[in-house]
Amino acid sequence: MADDRQWRPDPASHVYVYLQVAHRITEQIRTGRLPVGARLPGERDLAEEYGVAVNTIRRAVRELREQGLLITVPVKGTFVRESPDNEDGTAN
């Protein structure tokens, strides 16, 4: 996610900042920059990288977990999850 250092959410946008961050991470997953199994940086690192508060990152990650894109393993971190329609090895 190194080239994301230049991307910043737009606080003047009608879209909540946490959703802008969630959309950005989703795009990274969709394009393969964050492949299945990839570990996301820690919350503080992501907050610094995107120029937002840690709670904003927490809310974005929670949103992506609810969408089934990420999984958080206590003490280990947050990882890109295999898409639910692909867990059995087949695509719908």
Q: What pLDDT is attached to residue 90?
A: 46
- Amino acid 84: pLDDT: 58
Tell me the whole-structure pTM to 2 decimals: 0.84
36-51 average pLDDT score: 97
Per-residue pLDDT, 78: 98
Tell me whether residue 88 is in a domain.
Answer: no
Note down the domain range covering 63.
2-82
- Structural domains counted in the chain: 1
Residue 87 lies in a domain: no
Distance CA 62, CA 32 (A): 21
Q: What is the rounded distance in angstroms from the CA atom of residue 31 to the CA atom of residue 13? A: 24
